[in-house]
Amino acid sequence: MKIGIFIVKFVFIGMLFIVSTENLYMKNAEDRATFAGQVYNWVGELFSHVWQITGFVVNSEWLPKDMNESKSSFEDSLKITSKLS
């Protein structure tokens, strides 16, 4: 629920920025068409950037390069710890 409210507020504030930076008067039909086009482009770019970030995160290597080395060094440290006990 909170995420949905955040998204609605974010989009609303973005729309207000579009109206203010383009000096649009929403009573004018031509300005409403310009506003609709600008919002469409903005939302498209927003989704494009989210898509790129998600792709980068998914394709990132989150595990160590050599899992066998990491596993063996971890096992060695466990052996040393058990010998000390």
Q: What would the pLDDT profile of 61-84 be if each residue is shown by its tens digit?
A: 777 676 555 556 666 666 665 555
Residues 6+ apart with CB under 8 A from 11: 43
pLDDT at 1: 83
Residue 44: name the closest of 30, 52, 25, 3 by CA: 52
Answer yes or no: pTM beyond 0.95. Answer: no
Q: Which residues, given as ranges, of the chain have pLDDT below 70?
A: 64, 66-85
Supply the pLDDT for residue 81. Answer: 58
Predicted pLDDT of residue 51? 92
- The residue segments making up the domain with residue 20 are 2-84
